Structures are given as C-alpha cells and as structure tokens.
C-alpha cells in the first residue's frame, strides 16, 4: 500500500518528516510526498527523496491507498478521494459533523487523531498530547515576547529585579509544559487544576500548587476535561481574581473537546492586572478562557494588558511539531500493520482502532462506545429502600451473628488441633492480607499510570514483608527474603525511573 503526504498550505506542519518516512518504509509501505509539503517545516523535497520517499503531485498523493495529513481535507481535496481510501488526520468529529458526513459520502475510512483514547497503550500515538506539549512551551515564549521584562530575578548594580510571576490554569500536558518552560526561565510559577491529585506533579517541577478550597474533586472518566460544578466555578473564580491582581502572566489551558471553552477570566479580573501583564489563552480555538480573548489575534487592552489568542501555537514551531506528529502517525500505523507487510488492518475488537475510526467504508461510526479510563472510583449506587424494622432483630443481623459465632468456633477448634506456632502464622498471614489490601489500593496514582502505581505499591509492601523475615533462624527463609527484596526493589526503582523520564519531558535539561 502507498501512503500519501499532502501539502496543506497555509498549515506549516507536515504529517511526515524524512525521519518518519524511513520508519514508514520499514513497515512495508511506499510513501509519496507532495512537492513542497515540508518546506514550511524546514524539510526540503530532497531530504524526503534521500529518505526513500517519492516526490509527486497532489493527484499522486490523493490517489494513494492511505492519506495522512495534519488538518481537515478541503472540499477540493475531498473531491479527489475515492471509495476504499483511508484518511488519517485531525478531523474534529465532535465539532464538525458535516465533514464526517461528507467523508462517509465519499465511501472512505477515516481515523481521527483527536480521538485517541487516553489509555497507557495509546500514549505513543496521542497527537493531542504531542501538540499540547508544544503549545504549552510556545505559550511561554509568546508571553515572554509580550511581557517586555525578565522572567528570572536578578541583582544588579542598578538594583534588584524581581522574578516574573506566572499563574497556570490547568495542569494537563500543555500546563505542565508551560510550567517547565516558565520555571526554566526563572519565573516564580503557581498553578491550579480541577484535579487536586496533580499537585504532586506541579510541585515536583518546582512550582507551587494552589488548590480551590472545600470543593468536591472533579474527575474525568475518559481522560479528557469535563465541565465543573457551579460551586467549584464560583470558588475557583475567587482564586483566579486573587491571582490576577498579583501575577504578571496568566496562561490558561482549559479546553473541553467539542464544547466551547469555559470562561474563567472575567473582564474585571483583566482590569485588576497591572499594566504590562500578559494573558496567553491556549483555549482560544474554542472561544477562549478569557471573556476578552479574540481568537487568532493578539492585542492590548486599554488597561495595558496584552491578551494572546493565537489558535496555532503548535504550528509556530513547525519543525518540532511535524516531527512529533509524524512519530504519532508512525506509531498508529505500527498498530494498524502488525505484520509489517504494508497492509493496513482495521480491527474493531481493538479499542484504539474503534475509538479513532469515525467513518468505515462509508459508514459513520462516530461516536464510539464509551471507554472508562479514569482511576476514579465508580460512583456508589443509590441505596435501595429499606423496610421499617420491627421489634425483632432483622434477619441480616442474625446472619452476621451466626457468621461471627462460626468463625469464633472454628478458631477455637484450630487452636486445639494445631500447634501454637502454626496458629500464630495463620493469624499474621490474615492480618497481612488485610493490611496489604488497604495499603496497595490506597495509593493515589498521581504520577504514574494506574497499573504502575499498583505494581509499585505491591513491590513496596513485598519489601516490607521480606525485611521482617531477614531475622528468621532458617537460612532458606533468609535467602528467599533477600531475593524478594532485590526483585521488588528493581521494580520500584524502575517505576520511579519511568516517572522521572515522563516528568523530564517538561523540564529544561
């Protein structure tokens, strides 16, 4: 099969780079790149040719079996498509159903890169996170350009320069990238999020987490942002107002897929900011988190506050953005080409395939069935109505009494039949199971995936148990305990090493 990479001018990003073309060839595909497709990302045609791709025309690209692009196809590009083709790109099915219907009418199969499920196995092809990472970094660069002063504090012969104060609203991928960039430049960074468990991530990067007090935690079941309650919004507004009056730069990142961006920064908050302050609204594409944001524009208010409302922050770093997005495409095609034979296989039994596919052979398959990816506990079911008890004890109380009586009788019987040492071991074993269960499942998976957090918790309690057996008089028990400590320790160290690598993506080396 052949993969086509179109020129998407005026979009500066490209869906493939010379490096990712090489990876696509190893999967058994042929690649044709439209002339000039990578020019705005500093990837000339000869670089693609040297990597093994063919350079062709628009007709060559749109006659390919698979077309990979960044944005949505234009009406003219849609007219070039034929039944049976596969289209990959940011198709925004939540906000642009007309495009999905148009693609279905062409009889194609379409996979949307903004529909990647937020599960561990799909992280390598999560293009939304890749672009959010770049947007968060670029937001700080745009803020520094408009700010007109140092980010870092300095002591000079001419006097002391205080560090800039940066407030980040939302600590997802974009927020963490902004925190890392601003902190790397020497700013004093504070941040907040609707998820209090992200405080540890924020603090590990040297920033201060400010929590909206006395509100119920807001959790998402699919990994994407959700609307907050009215109580939370009111108390959050008080926090934003206090911060706006004291900080120099506000970076907002609260965006809800397929919905208008929530309004967090009011006109009164903007008026309270000092002249020369900056607001960078990363949610401008959805209307903006600031009521004064003008999507696609940057302007200065009458009070001297600059509001940056660019909707193409990732495209302002086209070389880096193209490389990351191209890698996401490669990882997706690795999943779709398990035999590396250049044949794309779509399997709806695979949750990643199903979630990303919005059209299959001309049939609209959006929206996909819901997928639960949150580590939040399931909501408790409403209690069933309980009959008014009579004077006699309810049957369930008698059942519990009989169970306790049977356990006590069984324990007494075991104490008579078994040696005292063995009985003591059974008691310790039972208590260890109870304690271990609550210790392991009480771990908050703030810095890792849920699987890794549970794995590290199991390893930790294993180490504690093995340490207690090192004093055993039996050599065999001591050897087993030592081996358990070593193996569990390797697992713990590995878990923290992976966590450190994840956080290092947002830190300046």
- pLDDT digits 0-9 by tens, 392-446: 445 556 777 777 788 778 777 777 776 666 666 676 677 677 766 666 666 655 5
Fold: same for 2-112+318-364 and 130-316: yes
The domain limits of the chain are 2-112+318-364, 130-316, 399-506
Residue 399 gets which letter from DSSP?
Answer: H
> If DSSP states are collapsed to H, E and C, what string results for 240-266?
HHHHHCCCCEEEECCCCCCCCCCCCEC
Would you give the distance in Å from CA 74 to the centre of its chain? Answer: 29
Let me know if 125 is exposed, middle or buried by CB neighbors in 10 A (0-12, 13-18, 19+). buried
Each residue's pLDDT expressed in tens, for the chain with a length of 509 residues: 999 999 999 999 999 999 999 999 999 999 999 999 999 999 999 999 999 999 999 999 999 999 999 999 999 999 999 999 999 999 999 999 999 999 999 999 999 999 999 888 899 999 999 999 999 999 999 999 999 899 998 888 888 899 999 999 999 999 999 999 999 999 999 999 988 888 999 999 999 999 987 655 555 544 455 556 788 888 999 999 999 999 999 999 998 887 899 999 999 999 999 999 999 999 999 999 999 999 999 999 999 999 999 999 999 999 999 999 999 999 999 999 999 999 999 999 999 999 999 999 999 999 999 876 544 444 445 455 544 444 444 555 677 777 778 877 877 777 777 666 666 667 667 767 776 666 666 665 554 455 566 677 778 778 888 888 888 888 888 899 899 899 988 888 887 777 776 666 655 54
Q: How far apart are CA 61 and CA 81, in angstroms?
A: 10
Distance CA 196, CA 226 (A): 15
Q: What is the DSSP secondary structure assignment for residue 290, as one 8-state letter?
A: B
Q: Please tell me the CATH superfamily of domain 2-112+318-364, with its number.
A: NAD(P)-binding Rossmann-like Domain (3.40.50.720)
DSSP assignments along 163-214, one per residue: PPEEEEE--SHHHHHHHHHHHHTT-EEEEE-S-GGGHHHHHHTT-EE---SS
Q: Sheet containing 278-281: which strands, arranged edge to edge? A: 208-209, 188-192, 165-169, 249-252, 278-281, 306-308, 298-300
How far is the C-alpha of 385 from the C-alpha of 228, rounded, in Å?
Answer: 30
Give the pair of three-digit tokens for residue 500. Answer: 């450190």
Alpha helix (H) ranges present in 375-449? 395-417, 420-441
From residue 141, alpha-carbon distances to 274, 291, 300, 508 in Å are: 20, 22, 17, 14
What is the DSSP secondary-structure string of 79-139?
Answer: HT--TT-EEEE---TTT-HHHHHHHHHTT-EEEEGGG---SGGGGGG-HHHHHHHHHHHHH
Cα–Cα distance, 119 to 59 (Å, whole number) = 37
Using the structure block, give the residue that is written with the tokens 């493939």. Answer: 16
| Enzyme catalytic residues | 118, 123, 126, 129, 224
**H or E element at residue 308:** strand 306-308
| pLDDT value of position 420 | 60
Distance in angstroms (rounded) separating the CA atoms of residues 26 and 463 = 43
Residue 333: both structure tokens together: 């095609």
Rounded Cα distance, 77 and 68, in Å? 13
Q: Cα torsion for 142, 148, 153, 157, to the nearest 10°?
A: 150
The architecture in CATH of the region 130-316 reads 3-Layer(aba) Sandwich (3.40)
Cα-based angle 457, 506, 144 (whole degrees, multiple of 5): 150
| Burial of residue 321 (number of CB atoms within 10 Å: 0-12, 13-18, 19+) | buried
Separation between Cα atoms, residue 338 and residue 87, nearest integer Å: 19
> Which tens digits make up the pLDDT trace of 274-309?
999 999 999 999 999 999 999 999 999 999 999 999
DSSP 3-state assignment of 2? strand
pTM for this prediction: 0.72
Bridge partner residues of 413 (DSSP):
none
Question: What are the C-alpha distances in Å from 343 to residues 28, 51, 65?
Answer: 8, 21, 10
Neighbours of 395 (CB within 10 A): 8
Stated as kind and residue range, the H or E segment containing 466 is helix 450-468
What are the backbone angles phi and psi of residue 55, rounded to the nearest 5°? -105, 125
**Contact by Cβ (8 Å): 30, 54:** yes
């Amino acid at each position: 099969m052949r993969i086509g990479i179109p020129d998407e001018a005026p979009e500066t990003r490209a869906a493939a780079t010379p490096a990712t073309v090489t990876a696509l060839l190893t999967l058994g595909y042929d690649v044709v790149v439209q002339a000039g497709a990578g020019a705005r990302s500093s990837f000339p045609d000869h670089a693609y040719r040297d990597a093994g791709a063919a350079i062709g025309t628009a007709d060559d690209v749109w006659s390919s079996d698979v077309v990979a692009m960044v944005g949505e196809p234009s009406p003219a590009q849609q007219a070039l498509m034929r039944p049976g083709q596969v289209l990959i790109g940011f198709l925004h099915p939540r906000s642009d159903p007309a495009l999905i219907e148009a693609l279905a009418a062409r009889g194609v199969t379409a996979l949307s890169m903004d529909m990647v499920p937020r599960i561990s196995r799909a992280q390598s092809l999560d293009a939304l996170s890749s672009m959010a990472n770049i947007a968060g970094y670029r937001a700080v660069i745009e803020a520094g350009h408009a700010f007109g002063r140092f980010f870092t504090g300095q002591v000079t012969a001419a006097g002391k320069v205080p560090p800039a104060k940066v407030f980040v609203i939302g600590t997802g991928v974009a927020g963490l990238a902004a925190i890392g960039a601003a902190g790397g430049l020497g700013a004093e960074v504070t941040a907040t999020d609707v998820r209090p468990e992200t405080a540890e991530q924020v603090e590990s990067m040297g920033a201060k987490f400010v929590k909206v007090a006395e509100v119920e935690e807001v959790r998402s079941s699919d990994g994407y942002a959700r609307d907050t309650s009215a109580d939370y919004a009111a108390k959050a507004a008080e926090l934003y107002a206090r911060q706006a009056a004291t900080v120099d730069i506000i970076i907002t990142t609260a965006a809800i897929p397929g919905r208008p961006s929530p309004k967090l920064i009011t006109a009164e908050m903007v008026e309270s900011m000092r002249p020369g302050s900056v607001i960078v609204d990363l949610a401008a594409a959805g209307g903006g988190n600031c009521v004064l944001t003008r999507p696609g524009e940057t302007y200065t208010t009458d009070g001297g506050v600059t509001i940056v409302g660019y909707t193409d922050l990732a495209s302002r770093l086209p070389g880096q953005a193209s490389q990351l997005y191209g890698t996401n495409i490669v990882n997706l095609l690795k999943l779709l080409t398990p035999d590396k034979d250049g044949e794309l296989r779509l399997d709806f039994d695979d949750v990643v395939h199903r979630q990303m596919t919005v059209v299959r052979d001309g049939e609209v398959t959006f929206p996909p069935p819901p997928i639960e990816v949150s580590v939040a506990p399931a909501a408790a079911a409403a209690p069933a109505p309980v009959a008014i008890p009579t004077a006699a004890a309810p049957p369930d109380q008698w059942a519990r009494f009989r169970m306790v009586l049977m356990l006590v009788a069984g324990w007494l019987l075991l104490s008579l039949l078994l040696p005292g040492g063995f009985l003591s071991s059974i008691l310790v074993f039972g208590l260890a199971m109870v304690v271990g269960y609550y210790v392991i499942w009480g771990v908050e998976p703030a810095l890792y995936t849920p699987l890794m957090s549970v794995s590290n918790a199991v390893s930790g309690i294993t180490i504690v148990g093995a340490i207690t057996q090192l004093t055993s008089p039996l050599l065999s028990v001591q050897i087993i305990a030592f081996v358990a400590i070593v193996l569990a320790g390797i697992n713990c160290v590995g878990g923290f090493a992976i966590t450190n690598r994840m956080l290092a993506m947002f830190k300046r080396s």
